[in-house]
Amino acid sequence: MLFHSTRGVDKDKTFADILMQGLASDGGLFMPDTWPQVEIEKIESMQSFQEIAEYIVPFFTASSFSEQETHKVLKDAWHDFEIESLIKIKPFNNYSILELFHGPTAAFKDFGLQLAAAFFNEILNQENKTALVLGATSGDTGSAAIDSCKKYSRIKSFIMLPNGNMSQIQRRQMTTVMSENVRAIRVNGTFDDCQDLVKQAFKVRDFLNNDQYLLAVNSINWTRIVGQICYYFYAYANLRDHKSISFSVPTGNFGNVFACYSAYKMGLPLKSICVAVNENDILHRFFSNNDYSKHAVLETISPSMDISVASNFERLVYDFFLDRDSNACANLFNSFPSNAIKFDSTIWEKRHEIFLSHKVTDKETKEIISSHFFETNYLLDPHTAIGIPACIENLDSSNHYVLLATAHPAKFPKLYEELNIDMVDVPSSLMNLRDKEENVYRLNANYDELSNFIKINNFN
């Protein structure tokens, strides 16, 4: 199976092509040419995440790797998790919480980025090349990218952190990694400044050595989605005693929701997907009001969901709303954000097939965390809490909600101090971060400074 761009120009790309390329040359996002169909009885007989991944991932990698080669990569793809099953499921009354934060950086992003890094490394080994990873982060992507790539000596990671809202722990997860092939760069600017630098770097590429790859680790990378598709099937396999299942997904860039939608298109039986957002509500404005328009970013207590536009949303528009009409998709997104996206009512109606949405304010998030803790003694992180309303407002007793717990609460200690809740059970990967020395390089939001810095720190 090959891949193509949502905007129609790039076509017939292999898995290796799109893994190494990231964004399509026409500005679109890569999509599989068809949705592979799973045999759901097979999934039902599987218990472990690894087993499910060995079934799901080869559908997408077949254009570049034999099944055997893929299985070899998958063997060590996910590592340094605190529990052998990788995921825990906590049952509550008529919902369950899928804990995706047992990886080394204590957020779900380890699932996608560890898989991408393992395949980066496989291709670099085969071609005897090196690569630079360049990314900007406002939350958990940077730490997961750094951690996923640091053990591969053919990859150097340069991750830019803006001034701003991430928690001290999130920052220290990046700045305390002492590896020769990792650079955490504090940029004197906003997240948007950092993203502009990344965009320019991908255009100019003047700091690369001959034949060197420049890799994107942001959430549009298809392989990250593949890693995430697997845990939706895992949840199903472990909760299939329920008559019907829905997912509530706290989201920012729509990557995690798109993975859920992908699983649905591949044959996962599910009733609905709730798109749960904080006050950065572009997705909720779309699903509730047919208004996809860019507003300024607000800083919230769920910083990993603070976005102005949801980059993976283009994939849904292309596949679901426009029935894969790449011309129509290119027209919409080439003129976005200057022109807001608003569909004809018949197209917009399609959302009822599967989607709901919820917006939760900071004040509500705090109330949810406190009351959930009071009632169940279970502590939600501020991102996960945003998915709770869909679960508790679910009045259909035959339908079981699965809430994705996207980060461990211990990443946000200040918030729980404010709420007078004691933090117990800090994951070992987050302990002692406070005592470690920070190793951070400071640059202005200036392309030449960045380019020079990378040149000096590149392989030689």
Q: Which of 300, 452, 285, 288 is nearest to 383 (CA)?
A: 300
Nearer to ligand PLP, 8 or 382 (CB): 382
Q: What's the closest the beta carbon of residue 304 comes to ligand PLP, in angstroms?
A: 3
- Round to whole Å and give the CA distance between 89 and 405: 10
Q: Name the nearest CA neighbour of 251 among 22, 63, 406.
A: 406
- Label residues 6-28 b or e (16+ Cβ within 10 Å = b): bbbebeebbbbebbbbbbbebeb
406 scored as a contact of ligand PLP (CB under 6 A): yes
Any contact of residue 5 with ligand PLP (CB under 6 A)?
A: no
- Using CA atoms, how far apart are residues 369 and 82, in angstroms rounded to an integer? 24
60 backbone dihedrals φ, ψ, rounded to 5°: -95, -20
Q: State which of residues 109, 150, 154, 156 lies at the interface with ligand PLP (CB under 6 A).
A: 109
CB 383 to ligand PLP: min, Å = 4
Shortest reach from residue 128's CB to ligand PLP, in Å: 33
- Catalytic annotation present for 363: no
CB 225, CB 258: distance < 8 Å: yes
Binders in 207-226 for ligand PLP, by CB under 6 A: 219
Up-side HSE of residue 172: CA atoms within 13 Å toward CB?
A: 15
Query: 16 or 301: whose CB is closer to ligand PLP?
Result: 301
How far apart CA 326 and CA 235 sit, in angstroms, is 33
Least separation in angstroms between CB 282 and ligand PLP: 12
Least separation in angstroms between residue 100's CB and ligand PLP is: 9
Residue 132 or 166 having the CB closest to ligand PLP: 166
For ligand PLP, the binding residues in 238-297 under the rule CB under 6 A are: 250-256
Taking the least distance from each CB to ligand PLP, the nearer of 315 and 383 is: 383
Please identify, using beta-carbon distances, which residue of 46 and 107 lies nearer to ligand PLP: 107
Out of 10, 140, 147, 279, the only residue in the binding site for ligand PLP (CB under 6 A) is 140
Our CB check for ligand PLP shows the closer of 228 and 394 to be 228
Nearer to ligand PLP, 113 or 124 (CB): 113
Site string for ligand PLP, 302-321 (x = CB under 6 A): --xx----------------
| 184 closest CA partner among 224, 137, 121, 148 | 137
Q: Which amino acid is at 449?
A: E
Q: Which two tokens stand for residue 301?
A: 């207590």
Q: Smallest distance from the beta carbon of 292 to ligand PLP, in angstroms?
A: 15
Q: In angstroms, what is the minimal distance from the CB of 413 to ligand PLP?
A: 15
Helix (H, G, I), strand (E, B) or coil at 190: coil
Nearest-CB residue to ligand PLP?
A: 255
Token pair recorded at residue 121 = 């490394």
Q: What span, in angstroms and rounded, lies between the C-alpha atoms of 6 and 317?
A: 9
Asked if residue 274 lies in contact with residue 246, where contact means CB atoms within 8 angstroms, the answer is yes
Please say which residue, 63 or 389, places its beta carbon nearer to ligand PLP: 389
Catalytic pick from 13, 88, 109, 150? 109
383 binds ligand PLP (CB under 6 A): yes
**Would you list the DSSP string of 133-177?**
EEEE-SSSHHHHHHHHHTT-TTEEEEEEEESS---HHHHHHHHT-
Span 417-446, contacts to ligand PLP by CB under 6 A? none
Q: Helix, strand, or coil here: 446?
A: coil
How many of the chain's residues bind ligand PLP (CB under 6 A)?
17
Q: What distance in Å separates the CA atoms of residue 10 and residue 12, rounded to the nearest whole number?
A: 7
Q: Tally the residues of the chain.
A: 460
In DSSP notation, 15-36 reads: HHHHHHH-S-TTS--EEESS--
Closest distance of CB 407 from ligand PLP, Å: 3
Residue numbers at the binding site for ligand PLP (CB under 6 A): 107, 109, 139-140, 219, 250-256, 304-305, 383, 406-407
Residues designated as active site: 109
